[in-house]
Each structure stands twice: as C-alpha cells, then as structure tokens.
C-alpha cells in the first residue's frame, strides 16, 4: 500500500471537557497518513485516480472546526471516517495534537493516534 501524508493541518476547535475549552476554543493540529494504491494514478498521471489531498485537508479542517466533542479520541475517529469516505483510501492513520491542553505541568504536546481501515 502506498502512502500520502498530510502533516500539520491546523484549525481552531471547541473540543474538550472543560467549559473554558468549549467557550474559548484552541488550536488543534492533525497529521494524516492515507493508505491507497497510487499505481494507476501514476501510470496515467491522473488526479481522478488517486486521492485529492487538498479536498481531504479541507474536510478535516471542517471536522475540527465543527461540532464540539469532549475527547480528542472522538475527534480522531470522526476525522478517520471522513478520510475513509474517499473511494481510493483503504487505510488512514490520524494523529490529533492538542498542544494547549489544560494540563497544570509543563509539557510540549498531547496526541492521540488511531489507525482505521475499510473492512
């Protein structure tokens, strides 16, 4: 399986369990690795035979900016499902970063990483 990666997609969302997170929002960063077969697209040099990663990026940002959820695990799942709706995508790895998580000690980042595939 071939891979197409999108790294560092940024969007403001209102996800979290605390009222301040819901009210003020914060930046979330998403990394994606899409698993698909790119051979036919490469042979024909045809965008229609691969995944349009610009469209995927816009859809992922819409999920992050959309309906709030409590957990970044839930957010990651929703992002994965959006990615798998693209016909050629057979597998996706989603990593959601929450660098401004409400943690009381110094830290660099909080992430959740999931892998989902078509059954």
Identified catalytic residue from 20, 49, 85, 98: 98
Q: Tokens 């009222």 belong to which residue?
A: 19
* 50 secondary structure, DSSP code: S
The verdict on whether 20 is a catalytic residue reads: no
The Cα 26–Cα 58 span in angstroms is 18
With contact defined as beta carbons under 8 Å apart, do 57 and 86 qualify?
no
Residues identified as active-site: 98
């Amino acid at each position: 399986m071939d891979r197409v990666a999108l790294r560092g997609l940024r969007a403001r969302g209102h996800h979290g369990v605390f009222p301040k997170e819901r009210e003020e929002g914060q930046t979330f960063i998403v990394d994606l690795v899409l698993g698909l077969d790119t051979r036919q697209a490469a042979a024909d040099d045809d965008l229609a035979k691969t995944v349009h990663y610009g469209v995927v990026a816009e859809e992922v940002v819409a999920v992050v900016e959309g309906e709030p959820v409590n957990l970044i695990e839930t957010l990651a799942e929703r992002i994965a499902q959006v990615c798998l709706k693209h016909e050629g995508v057979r597998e996706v790895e989603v990593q959601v970063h929450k660098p401004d998580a409400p943690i009381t000690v110094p830290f660099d980042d909080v992430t959740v990483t999931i892998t989902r595939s078509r059954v």
